[in-house]
Each structure stands twice: as C-alpha cells, then as structure tokens.
Structure 1
Amino acid sequence: MKEFSGRLKQAADTLQLTLSDAQQEALLAYLSQLQRWNRTYNLTAIRDPSQMLVQHVFDSMSIVMRLRDATKDHVASGKQVSVLDVGSGAGLPGTIIAILEPDWRVSCVDAVEKKTAFIRQIAGVLGLSNLQALHNRIEMLQEMNATIVTSRAFASLADFADLAGKHVAQDGWLVAMKGRIPDDEISELQKKADWRVERIDPVVVPELDAQRCLIWLKQDQGTL
C-alpha cells in the first residue's frame, strides 16, 4: 500500500488534516487489512484498493474537520468526545476517526458479526485503544450518551433518528453522511416532532467526482 502514500498525503492536505507518520501508516495498514479480509469475508462491494482508498478512506477523512469544529467547545471544557458509528460495516467512518482523533472514544456498532470481528482485529493490529466494536442491533444497544452519533449509508434520516436518537448526549448531535441532499428524507423527518435538521454541510471528497453532504440533526428542546 506504500504506493498510495503520496495520494493519501495530498488528500490530507486538501482536507486540511495534518497526519503524523504513524497515522499515515495506520490508514494504509487499515486499507491493506480491509483488502485482505474482503477476499474472504466480503466486507465491502468495492474490490479495487485504489477505489477503496477514495470511497472509504478519503470519504471518511472528509468529515473529520467538521467534527472537530463542532466539538471544540467540548474539548476546551475538558470533556472527552465520544463517537458512536451506527451500521459501521467495515469500521467506516469510525475506524478512520479513531486513527485521526486518538483522544476521542469511538464505538462502532454493527449487526453483522464478521464486520465487528474485523473492527476488533483492526483495533488490535493498529493499537487503537480508543476504538471498540459492538456486535448488536442499534435498537438493542444500551444507551451510549455519545457526543456524536454518526452513520454512513445506514438508513433514512427519520429511521436514523428513531433508532439511534436515544444514544445522543443532551448536548450532542446525530450526524448523517449522505450523497445528494435527500429532500424526501428531510420532509419525512419534519413530520416528526422530536428531531430537526440543524444544518447541512457540503463535503468535498478528494479524487471523488460525486456530491456528498453532512446532515446535522438536533433534538428539539421541547422533547428533552
């Protein structure tokens, strides 16, 4: 995977992320492990490692600065940032967040055991003590009280809020990674009283010619 080092560094520069040598090595090691496990366990439909780099690693990296900005007051006040990645699959974006934010506590939950087994393996191989994998359905999971509950292609906004909303801390967010702005999903969500779209951030993924956005959901104060 060393052949991807230059592209990874350029992508990080584009996203205004500063990578240590150890973080760069960890991201490439994750990609190598994903490719190897995918041959046997079919963790992702993407087979080509170059496409994995862009559509999985760069895509996950693209939201990190947004998350940092949103949680800077938590960090300034001495609170630990906790992230719950719902329907994490092969640990995306949770594992990438854990690599880039070693002081954050990241939990990846998925109902498919082989996927959480992969995340546990990655946490061990890369020495990510801040990363844990939870084999469970999100609706069966004990409340996590997370600063950020995120998902990537997990469910509609309304279903995401219904299933994962209970895991958000009072001052936290639901954050959904989406492609184009899902107007129909937003309309469906607006019919519910408890969650609202706070803002929508456009996201640029290096080397990917496709629309991406990050949708921030807040719980209405009247429902707290």
Structure 2
Amino acid sequence: MKNGEIIMENERKETKDKYKIFADELLKWNKTHKLTNYNKEDILNQINDSLYPLEYIKDAKSAIDVGTGAGFPGLILAAAMPNTKWYLVEPLKKRYSFLNYIKMLLELKNVEIIPERIENSNLEQADLITSRAVMKTRDFLDLIKPYIKNNGTILLYKGSNVLDELNGINAKIINNKNRNYVFIKAQQWEK
C-alpha cells in the first residue's frame, strides 16, 4: 500500500470511492459501536487484504461470506464484484446494522445481509463461500457443506498456522505477507 491508497489495478474510480466512504463510515461507527479496533491505515490494509485474491474468484455468480463482521472480506468483495449475488452472514446486531447501512449508502444491489448464524439460515447453495478466521478449517468445512455447490470454491483467509489445519485437505494456498489465502474446491474434499 502506497500512502494509504487502496491497491486495485484496473478498478473503476467509482469502486475505489466506495471503499473510501466505507473506511470513513467504519471509523465513525467505531467511535460509538466499537465494531473493530482498526484505525484508518488498518482499514485500508484490510480492504487490500480482502481484495488480494479477487482475480481467482471473480467469475462466481453467487457467494456467501460467513461471519462478515464489519465487512471483511464479504462487503469489500461484493463492491468489487457487482455481477455476483452476495449473502453476508453476520448474527451480531450492531454489525448487521452497520452492514445494512453501508449496503444502502453504497447502493450495493447485489448484497443481502443475513442476520443469523449460517447453520440457522435457509440459504441456497452458492458458487463461492468465503470466510476470515471464523473457526478451524475442518470444522468450517463441515459447517458449510449444505451451502456450497459441488463445483464451488471455498476461500478462507488464514494466518500462519494454516498448514496445521489442512492435514488431509486438498487445497491451494497463495501467500501474501502474513496472510494465507486457502482455496478448496468442493469436489476435492469429502462432503
């Protein structure tokens, strides 16, 4: 990241502006609701972290982000992928409220916020499921089985201990600094 910029090659100015609005609003909401501990630079880093694997998932028609929190990675990816229908699953009310506010403010017509846990939802199967640090990989895969299409992709944003969690799971890992982006094809793990 250069001078607090959002790194997005070939991205429209309109989308970059949405990320700046998102960052400013998250900082405002943090003062009252403490959604995250992030400062402006942290938020911009989290936006870039969310966007890093975009080229590998951009063709998905439907996606579910489990445990969206304050918007990472699901809301950020949804803004970059306007032709993909995104379901952001976030059971905490203050985060759900923030996500709905941002969805309306940024006019993200491809986003639906789900105010419950994934296992309590009635979501249909998606082409892509994303999540960042929700739980151990094997437990997560068990949890999302009913929600991923047979030819779908799971994208997990993991830290440095990811190899310990992938024992016996066929996955592709892309590393960027302290982040491991783990791609698992649904048909390659036992459902």
TM-score by length of 1: 0.78
Matches within 5 A, 1:87-102: 87-102=67-82
Q: 1:182 to 1:223 in 2, by over 3 A?
A: closer
Question: Is structure 2 residue 36 aligned with structure 1 residue 50?
Answer: no
CA distance in 2, matches of 1:58, 1:42: 21
Residue 51 of structure 2 corresponds to 61
Q: CA deviation at 1:87?
A: 0.6
CA distance in 2, matches of 1:140, 1:173: 21
Residue 186 of structure 2 corresponds to 219
Residue 165 of structure 1 corresponds to 145
Matches within 5 A, 1:32-51: 32-46=24-38, 48-51=39-42
Residue 172 of structure 2 corresponds to 199
CA distance in 1, matches of 2:108, 2:3: 24
CA distance in 2, matches of 1:92, 1:82: 17
108-117 vs 210-219, greater mean Cα deviation? 210-219
Kindly name which structure, 1 or 2, has the bigger radius of gyration based on alpha carbons: 1
Q: 1:118 to 1:5 in 2, by over 3 A?
A: farther
Name structure 2 gaps, 5 residues minimum: none
Q: Which has the higher helix share?
A: 1
Q: CA deviation at 1:142?
A: 1.5
Residue 5 of structure 2 corresponds to 8
CA distance in 1, matches of 2:189, 2:11: 41
Residue 23 of structure 1 corresponds to 15
User: Quick one: percent identity of the two aligned structures?
Assistant: 26
Q: CA deviation at 1:122?
A: 0.4
TM-score by length of 2: 0.91
Matches within 5 A, 1:82-161: 82-161=62-141
* 3-state SS of 1:149 partner: strand
Residues 185-213 of structure 1, C-alpha deviations (whole Å, 9 max, x = no match) = 112xx3xxxxx3232122x3xxxxx4211
Residue 207 of structure 1 corresponds to none
Q: Aligned AA for 2:5?
A: L
Q: CA deviation at 1:20?
A: 1.3
Residue 176 of structure 1 corresponds to 156
CA distance in 1, matches of 2:190, 2:4: 46
Q: CA deviation at 1:222?
A: 8.9
Q: 1:6 to 1:165 in 2, by over 3 A?
A: same
* 3-state SS of 1:8 partner: coil
* 3-state SS of 1:124 partner: helix
Q: 1:220 to 1:20 in 2, by over 3 A?
A: closer
